[in-house]
Chains A and B, each alone.
Chain A
């Protein structure tokens, strides 16, 4: 049973607003990831972290930023939301092989 939590589940927000998507895991995993997924498309890795104070950009360019100050917490921030940021954002953590996913945040920017 995976213990990884994302909030909010759904968010509708106006253009230009700053938002932070929260992700927390209680499994003590060092590796954490953020993926972005649109309907009918693959999951694209946008950020990853292999431990505290370690963050890297993923394969898909994203205007979002992340931080990893604590092992269990890996928030994603958009400084100025745009309609092109509308998507589902999925956080995951890994014990080494494979990954466990949170329930995702469905973001709509109007």
Chain B
């Protein structure tokens, strides 16, 4: 049973515009959420995270929003750049269990 879900597997966006990626989770014990970026044939690289005590975390062009009541988080990338073209994975864990649960990923294509 998949605990982290990423729908809309692919997204195309014009350079300079905003990319919005969505993630839903089912396990109410999750209290820490992360976004990873992955290029083909490489390992995921950490982008940004958020703890359940917050509803927003911002780091440069990347902002993650958390809606605990809806069990939903989103990643905003603005402005989008061609180098952002990659697969983005949402992941979640909870205190006492450091094992990350991953979604299936969203393919983002930024068109120059």
Contacts and interface: CB of A to CB of B under 8 A. Distances in A.
A104 B98 contact: no
Given A58-B99, A97-B32, A42 B89 contact: yes
B84 to A, nearest CB: 18
Band of interface residues on B: 20 to 34
A48 B100 CA distance: 11
B44 A45 contact: no
Nearest to B5: A42
A6 B44 CA distance: 13
A48 B43 contact: no
Nearest to B90: A42
Contact of A42 (B42, B46, B49, B105): B105
19 contacts: A2-B46, A31-B98, A33-B99, A35-B102, A40-B104, A40-B105, A42-B2, A42-B105, A43-B89, A43-B91, A43-B100, A45-B100, A88-B41, A90-B43, A92-B43, A98-B32, A99-B46, A102-B43, A104-B42
